[in-house]
């Protein structure tokens, strides 16, 4: 669903699931650019991954990634030989996607919010917010909002109609310029994509 100011609502119920090659989890793509791009040619890709078993993560050459634990007790990762404990929900963790990464679940399955972007070609920042937050995107920037915990509402400008409501794991995608107000009952991820720094 597209709105007058270019906000596109992406419902969680419409996503397809893909089983990992190693069978250790399931991934559901939220959005990618170019749209329909595969693992070898995306500029950026955002997904929700259900990790059900210990094992290695896929390696993505030339890709940086930000992982946010959305559900579960967490993971003990070894990234490029260095241990990294991911046991705090809603805290973005940044690491290179081309480093070999092994995962051990701390206490059962988890759901991770994943942002991957091509190094040197795209700039990306992920924040997890709650409450009432003013959103703004400049021309050339793209914003992706995903309700991670509870629901969220994107207010429209006065007189522009009813707000868009996001159920858990629903998303809103918009290209700047944009100004909106985001209200959450829990937490939402706000991902900002733009051209690389000169």
pLDDT tens, residue by residue, 69-92: 999 999 999 999 999 999 999 999
Fold that domain 122-194 belongs to in CATH: Jelly Rolls (2.60.120)
pLDDT at 75: 97
pLDDT for position 38: 81
pLDDT of 3? 55
- Low-confidence spans in the chain with pLDDT less than 50: none
Every domain of the chain and the residues it spans: 15-118, 122-194
| pLDDT tens digits, one per residue of 34-44 | 988 887 889 99
pLDDT at 40: 82
CATH match for 15-118 among 3.40.50.2300, 2.60.120.10, 1.20.120.160, 3.90.1150.10: 2.60.120.10
Mark residue 125 as left, alpha or beta (left: phi above 0; alpha: psi -120 to 50; beta: remaining): beta
Strand order in the sheet with 25-33: 17-19, 25-33, 44-51, 110-118, 63-71, 93-96
Identical fold between 15-118 and 122-194: yes
Classify residue 91 by its DSSP letter: -
Terminal-residue alpha carbon distance, the chain: 34
Structure tokens at 91: 């805290």
Q: What is the pTM of this model?
A: 0.93
């Amino acid at each position: 669903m597209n709105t007058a100011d270019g906000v596109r609502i992406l419902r969680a119920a419409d996503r397809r699931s893909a089983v990992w090659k190693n069978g250790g989890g399931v991934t559901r793509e939220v959005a990618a650019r170019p749209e329909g791009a595969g693992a070898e040619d995306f500029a950026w890709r955002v997904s929700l991954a259900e990790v059900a078993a210990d094992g290695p993560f896929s390696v993505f050459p030339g890709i940086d990634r930000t992982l946010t634990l959305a559900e579960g007790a967490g993971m003990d990762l070894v990234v490029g030989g260095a241990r990294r404990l991911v046991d705090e929900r809603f805290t973005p963790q940044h690491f290179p996607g081309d480093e070999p990464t092994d995962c051990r679940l701390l206490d059962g399955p988890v759901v991770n919010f994943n942002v991957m972007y091509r190094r040197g070609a795209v700039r990306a920042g992920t924040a997890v917010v709650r409450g009432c937050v003013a959103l703004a995107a400049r021309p050339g920037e793209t914003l992706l909002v995903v309700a991670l915990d509870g629901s969220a509402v994107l207010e429209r400008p006065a007189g522009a109609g009813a707000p868009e409501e996001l159920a858990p794991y629903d998303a809103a995608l918009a290209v700047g310029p944009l100004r909106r107000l985001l209200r959450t009952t829990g937490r939402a991820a706000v991902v900002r994509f733009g051209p690389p720094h000169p």
